[in-house]
Amino acid sequence: MISLLGYGRTNKAFSTYLYQHAMPCIVYDDAIHAPTTTPHNQPLLPSSAFDPVHSHLEVISPGIPPHHPLVLASQHLLSEYDYVAKLKTPPPTFFVSGTNGKTTTTEILGLLCAPFGAQVGGNIGVPLITLKDAPLWILETSSFSLHYTKHYAPSLYILLPLAQDHLSWHGGYEHYISAKLKPLSLMAKSSPVLLETRFQNHPLVQAILKQNNAPELIFYENSAHLAKQMGFDLVKVRFEEPFLLDALLALSATKLAFNQVDYDRLNSYTLQPHRLEVFKDAQARTWVNDSKATNVDATLKALDRFADRFVHLIVGGDTKQVDLSPLFERLTHMHTRIYTIGTSAPLMSEMAKHYGVNALYCGDVARAVCAIKACLKPHQIAILSPSAASLDQFSSYQERGDLFKACVLKP
């Protein structure tokens, strides 16, 4: 019997696939408290009902952490990536991972590689099991998926800059880094890898470099360094940071794979909502929806963009146990006031007091927006860049960003 551990987006797609191929399965999920069934009449049971004795294969939903009882009890655990690779030989595949910018880079890369028949999926919203056969797959790949994947290797790997994130899930920053570097040990000889220069001396990278069948590691320091290495003309690229690096990494992958540099196609990409999305209120004051900034590093990049302005900053949510001190150290050198929301609001308010940062405890987005509206001046900036995940108060960062915009635009 196949066991699907977790019933999120990934395993909902797997349950449909198994139903269509007449393969029986049982689904287990923490949110289920009494036995029921999926829309395909497959048993859907509480996690506590899982019995490894009657399971010959367990497909793990990537969001379930390695210390979960379902994982600890499993004896035949497979990631979604490895299961798909077991079903069939995947086409050449590009992985895109990192802390921030994965979605933007993946979408740009998909646009650039569309003439070569690329299909885009993975964490970007299309489960791997549903991807159509194609000459190339481009997958936004989370650290969760990488942790559980032991066999599926990319033919090209883009690793965006790393910062502290998902520490409670991985059990520490080094474990998080190890998951992100894991594909290097699986890739074929000379397969290109784009990664930060700071990892050149990392023990895992050094071990890879000593192997005769090592992938080709291409190190970058920043956008300017990468552009110089790859021979790009920055004047022809319309994006600003932090999106400039995303664009250049996607352009680099396309050049490495297909020897093509298409600036016009690159510049046709439209940035998606909720990431440094600038808009005006009824009084023509500037607001920025950066709800996708779910960690400190993303907020620091947003602050870099507006370092010369007075910033009203909404922060807070589920901080995932990361170190918040880099954020407050930056805020001490800026003209700013913060408005704290979510479960971390008390902690952030206390840290603001400790660092001497002007702060107002608000609790939720609506109160924070109301407080900012009362004092925002035309030459100032108001930003929702929470440095935290949204699931303490919302179903997603999109819902949080939509509410923020609605509150701002409300008469």
What is the C-alpha to C-alpha distance for residues 221 and 38, in angstroms, rounded to an integer? 48
What is the C-alpha to C-alpha distance for residues 268 and 13, in angstroms, rounded to an integer? 31
Do 302 and 276 meet the contact criterion of CB atoms below 8 Å apart? yes
Distances (CA, A) of 368 to 111, 178, 324, 372: 37, 38, 20, 6
Class of residue 369 by CB neighbours under 10 A (exposed 0-12, middle 13-18, buried 19+): buried
DSSP 45: E
100 is in an annotated binding site: yes
Are β-strands 57-60 and 77-78 bridged in parallel, bridged antiparallel, or unpaired?
parallel
Strand partners, 44: 27, 36
* Closest to 385 in 3D by CA, of 366, 400, 375, 370: 400
Fill in the amino acid letter for 280: K
What are the strands of the beta sheet with 25-29, ordered from one edge?
36-37, 43-46, 25-29, 2-5, 57-60, 77-78
150 is in an annotated binding site: no
98 is in an annotated binding site: yes
Tokens 């990392």 belong to residue: 202
89 is in an annotated binding site: no
Are β-strands 136-140 and 93-97 bridged in parallel, bridged antiparallel, or unpaired?
parallel
299 is in an annotated binding site: no
DSSP 260: -
Q: What's the token pair of residue 153?
A: 């290797």
Q: Binding site: which residues?
A: 98-104
Q: Binding site for ATP: which residues?
A: 98-104
